[in-house]
Amino acid sequence: MARSPESTVEPVDAPAGFRVTLDDFDGPFDLLLSLITKRELDITEVSLSVVTDEFLAYLRALDTGDGYDSDGLDQASEFLVVAVTLLDLKIASLLPQGELVDAEDVALLEARDLLFARLLQYRAFKEVSGWFAAGIEAEAHRHVRSVRLEDQYRETTPELKWTLSLDDFAALALLALTPREIPTVGLDHLHAPLVSIREQAAHVVALLRQGEPLTFRQLIAGAEVKGVIVARFLALLELYRNSAVGFEQLEPLGELTVRWTAENWNDENLVNLGADYGQ
């Protein structure tokens, strides 16, 4: 049942679902994903707003007045998952590129790859969920021997030793019935990252404003979590877009030095920083 990586980029849905019509693409949404994952379609060429508009129209058509059926909801949630990832992917590909030297392009590509990998990961789980569905379906038709214990054995089971007082019993009930988590309407699903690019930008600004140029290596010193390093890198790109920092690199893949270049920096600039990333 092992699957080759190739197999996961094939469309899995029946063509009946959500379809997209774009300038250079017309077909099922899933096929669109397949093309992007196969890199046969450039993500920057895809208008996400058009895709989103079409999807909303599609959902409205599904709404029969009694709300959506579960297929519709499944599709809606799938769309959101993928759209968020596509959005990230697109942002990464639209980040400033013009004046960057090759090494940054490489690094940028890595940031994109990370998002790309997440899209792949999502699709892998989606694919394999079919295996789960098939397994559960097949096993539901199997019959296991599960019969009442013969009376002669039932009667000879050891007598129960009951040691609990009434109050102990009530305490146990209280313990078991107390919800362990306070239910909240989480915003996590809106893809709020625990690592904030804004926070990382603030950290970088604090270091660089002292005047001395620092290498990227120095800037990420002490950051052990890959996500933090990525966020710090993205923060630098954002600062670069705001003309707050300059880069210097003597050779490809060599040490990257970051210089503070802002003339009129105001910490309020931080507030809008990284807004494109959904913070």
Partner 1 sequence: MASETQVDEAPARGIPDHIEVTRALEAIFMVVDEPQSVVGLASAVGRPVKEVRAAIADLVADFDGLNGGPQRGFELREVGGGWRIYVRSDLDDVVRDFVHTQNPSKLSQAALETLAVIAYKQPISRGAIASIRAVNVDSVVRTLLGRGLITEAFTDSETGAIHYETTDLLMVQLGINSLDELPKISPLLDDGSEGFDDVR
Positions 177 through 196 that interact with partner 1 (CB under 8 A): 177-181, 183, 186, 188-189, 191, 193-195
Residue 132 CB, shortest distance to partner 1, in Å, is: 5
Which of the residues 229 through 268 are near partner 1 (CB under 8 A)?
Answer: 229-230
# of chain residues touching partner 1 (CB under 8 A): 90
The stretch near partner 1 (CB under 8 A) out of 90-98, 136-144, 213-221, 255-263 is 136-144
Residue 6 CB, shortest distance to partner 1, in Å, is: 10
Among 62, 91, 101, 120, binds partner 1 (CB under 8 A): 120
**Distance from C-alpha of 76 to C-alpha of 83, rounded to nearest angstrom:** 10
Does 157 contact partner 1 by CB under 8 A? yes
Among 126, 207, 220, 246, binds partner 1 (CB under 8 A): 126
Which of the residues 7 through 36 are near partner 1 (CB under 8 A)?
Answer: 8
Q: What angle do helix axes 70-94 and 29-37 make, rounded to 10 degrees? A: 30
**Distance from C-alpha of 226 to C-alpha of 200, rounded to nearest angstrom:** 13
Among 45, 53, 97, 131, binds partner 1 (CB under 8 A): 131
- Write the Ramachandran bin of 167: left for phi over 0, alpha for psi from -120 to 50, otherwise beta: alpha
Does 2 contact partner 1 by CB under 8 A? yes
Task: Yes or no: say if 84 and 133 are a contact pair by the CB < 8 Å rule.
Answer: no
**Distance from C-alpha of 106 to C-alpha of 104, rounded to nearest angstrom:** 5
Q: What angle do helix axes 226-241 and 102-140 make, rounded to 10 degrees? A: 130
Among 99, 167, 251, 263, binds partner 1 (CB under 8 A): 167
Residue 98 CB, shortest distance to partner 1, in Å, is: 26
Contacts of 228 (CB under 8 A, 6+ apart): 195, 200, 220
The stretch near partner 1 (CB under 8 A) out of 67-75, 96-104, 244-252, 266-274 is 67-75
Task: CB nearer to partner 1: give 130 or 252.
Answer: 130
The stretch near partner 1 (CB under 8 A) out of 41-49, 52-60, 228-236, 254-262 is 228-236
Q: What angle do helix axes 48-62 and 70-94 make, rounded to 10 degrees? A: 170
Q: What angle do helix axes 29-37 and 102-140 make, rounded to 10 degrees? A: 130
